[in-house]
Structure 1
Amino acid sequence: MKDAASDIAVTPVDRAVERLQSIYRKWTRDTGVEQMRGDWDEAFAGCSVPVACRQVSAGGVEGEWILSPAAPQEKAILYLHGGGFRIGSIASHRDLIARIGHACGCRVLAINYRLAPEHRYPAALDDALAAYRYLLDQGLQPADIALAGDSAGGNLALGAMLALRDRGETVPAAAVLMSPWTDLAATGASYESRAKADPIHQRAMILALAKNYLGRDGDPHHPLASPLYADLSGLPPLLIQVGDRETVRDDSTEFVAKARAAAVNVELQVFDGMIHVFQMFSEIPETGEAVAALAKFLRGHLQIDDGRAAQ
């Protein structure tokens, strides 16, 4: 496809970027957070794969089971959505969650954890832990649970596992993280080296979101708020995917280097030319490859028969 005005080929990533920018262009300094959340949910509403959805209270947290056909009852993925701890919900991420669950052949519990600024750190982390313990209360074993999350949700997945470890509780079998936000201090070199390549996320925006989440006196170096600064020993196997165009790329690359130094089994997949959480955009060809890799990793660690996965 070409842009008629410039005769330059328009790629699926270009169209995804325009989709994002069209949302941001609606917002001004006077736009309220509820309007932002509604616009975001509306922009990503819908579901492209056949799943059943069932609302549930997950340890007092609003949740939804997203159920693929013939998914085993004894396995589950807990999904934590992104959105900078300010926006995002089950509604905005239902399609991505459903595609991952469908490809994996596993049911997924997604939650609407509390958002900032109404509920600052550690409210979202507490909700993630409550949902994990809800799964245990349903009779699942930690070895039958995996965590998944994107951006801020990746941060929460890591924070939850670190908190469980610190409290002497058993961590889940594995976790998959898409563009995880691991450093709320935004110190990575990619904030400079990728500033021109990233069409959305600049360092000033990231720091503002961090302040919104942590509060004026919050510590962006606290290990449960910024997992990059934690002792990472004892984490389960991890698969991390990130786009090479992202300013937050080094939140993944630096975290992976530190995790490997702590003897964590972690795999990093860097996708050339990709933007932040590109997996949300099913029209981008690389999304299919990425979701397939996530599903293969999850099936292996949850010991789900490949025959249950979508063909």
Structure 2
Amino acid sequence: MSHTRTTLSLLERLDLVFSMLKTIATAMVTLLGVSFRGPDGHPKPMKHVIHTALRIMNARISATQIQNMSASTDEAYTAFAKTKGFKPTSIKLPEDAMAHWIGSPDAERILVVFHGGGFVYPATTQFQFLYDVQKETGPETAGIVLSYSLAPGKHYPHQLKQSIALLSYLVNDAGKNPENIILAGDSAGANLILSVLSHMLHPHPDGSIPPLNTVAPFKGAVLVSPWVNFTPNAPSYMRNRKKDMVNQYILTSQPGTAAAKWWQGIETKVRDIVVTAGENEVMFDDTYKFSETLKRSFPTLQAQFIKGETHDQLFMDPVVGEKIPSGSAKLIKSWVAAKL
């Protein structure tokens, strides 16, 4: 499970109130001056205001405070199922993990989602994404979301163990064909997918993580705004600091630091890979560099860098109230639907 509601001390509660007040005050001041944001700010005025406020909030609040305010992945799933009128279907996995189905567990084609959130936020809009894909692709497709443990309660590589547990269950216990399974992850979730593929190629030195051997490669991997480098030194951190909602304060496995040789043989683990990133992301340069490195071992990699988009826009737009589908949303949904 992702987390249980944390209990805050009096000091933590007062600090949280101060953080919320500071966030609101920042939003109000930014709104007053939004016409003077210049080319360094977000092109859309309201997104400039919202992203500025989110940067302030994320720089101030702790993981404990985040998890006190947020419904867990398990709670969010139950609420989503009630909203959509379907019966929740969940499975308990080893390593204290849960996984939640959208669509029939008996479906032949499976989309596995590893949610983002810096390993401290639970899943949110990923359920709607899966619901939309499942409805579009029909009853022979189902989605499943891994509810992994969040930091600081559990630290990496525990989340990798939980990811392996889910995929091992699907392939070895549920009898799913890897060639009918697509792995999709955003931000930290994309990091987890890369960690899984890395573990399949080079078993993790922590001997407590079992191997994951499949008779065939997975059908595909979708990496949305992948978090590939934990060191915020790339020039895009400065270039896009006033456009993106992410900053260096909210960013162990670092796929972006691995050489091309590390990924040799990855085509035996997954058939197709697509990477998307917004050109206004602070992590853009790291993602671009990583995709170029991965291409040397996986020449068929599809990398789509979308002008004007910020971090994880596919899943963040619904959070900030954006109704018009982004370019990345259209691209990823069509790519997944075509593969399924």
TM-score bracket for this pair, using the shorter chain length: 0.7 to 0.9
Structure 1 distance, partners of 2:149, 2:100, is 15
Structure 1: gaps (5+ residues): 215-224, 305-311
Alignment CA distance shift 1:58-1:78 (3 Å): farther
Give 1:245's aligned amino acid.
N
1:120-168 CA distance string (max 9 Å, x none): 1101111111111111120101111110011000100111112123357
CA deviation after TM superposition for structure 1 residue 71, in Å: 9.4
Q: Which residue of 1 aligns with 2:128?
A: 95
Superposed counterparts of 1:55-74, under 5 Å = 55-59=90-94, 61-67=97-103, 73-74=107-108
Alignment CA distance shift 1:101-1:22 (3 Å): farther
Aligned pair 1:86/2:114, yes or no? no
1:66-97 CA distance string (max 9 Å, x none): 22xx89711111111111112223x4532233
Q: Which residue of 1 aligns with 2:65?
A: 35
1:165-198 CA distance string (max 9 Å, x none): 3357234211111111011233433223222332
CA deviation after TM superposition for structure 1 residue 242, in Å: 1.1
Aligned pair 1:148/2:187, yes or no? no
Aligned pair 1:202/2:238, yes or no? no
Report the number of matched residues.
Answer: 275
Alignment CA distance shift 1:86-1:17 (3 Å): farther
Q: Which residue of 2 aligns with 1:271?
A: 306
Superposed counterparts of 1:184-203, under 5 Å = 184-198=230-244, 200-203=245-248
Q: Which residue of 2 aligns with 1:174?
A: 220
Q: Which residue of 1 aligns with 2:193?
A: 157
SS of 1:176's equivalent in the other structure is strand
Structure 2 distance, partners of 1:297, 1:35, is 36
Superposed counterparts of 1:4-15, under 5 Å = 14-15=45-46
Q: Judge conservation of contact 1:23–1:39 (CA < 8 Å) in 2.
A: no
Q: Judge conservation of contact 1:83–1:152 (CA < 8 Å) in 2.
A: yes
Structure 1 distance, partners of 2:289, 2:31, is 41
Percent identity, please.
23
1:123 to 148, 158, 161: 158
TM-score by length of 2: 0.69
Q: Which residue of 2 aligns with 1:222?
A: none
SS of 2:303's equivalent in the other structure is strand
SS of 2:333's equivalent in the other structure is helix
Aligned pair 1:300/2:338, yes or no? yes
Give 2:232's aligned amino acid.
A
Q: Judge conservation of contact 2:34–2:45 (CA < 8 Å) in 1.
A: no
Q: Which residue of 1 aligns with 2:39?
A: none
Aligned pair 1:232/2:263, yes or no? yes
CA deviation after TM superposition for structure 1 residue 55, in Å: 2.0
Structure 2 distance, partners of 1:265, 1:276, is 24
SS of 2:149's equivalent in the other structure is coil
Structure 1 vs Structure 2 CA RMSD: 3.4
Give 2:324's aligned amino acid.
P
Q: Judge conservation of contact 1:41–1:92 (CA < 8 Å) in 2.
A: no
CA deviation after TM superposition for structure 1 residue 251, in Å: 2.7
Structure 1 distance, partners of 2:45, 2:265, is 40
Task: Please say which structure displays the higher CA radius of gyration.
Answer: 2
Structure 1 distance, partners of 2:58, 2:228, is 26
SS of 1:149's equivalent in the other structure is strand
1:27-76 CA distance string (max 9 Å, x none): 785x553431243449xx67599574422224452111022xx8971111
Structure 2 distance, partners of 1:276, 1:300, is 24
TM-score by length of 1: 0.75
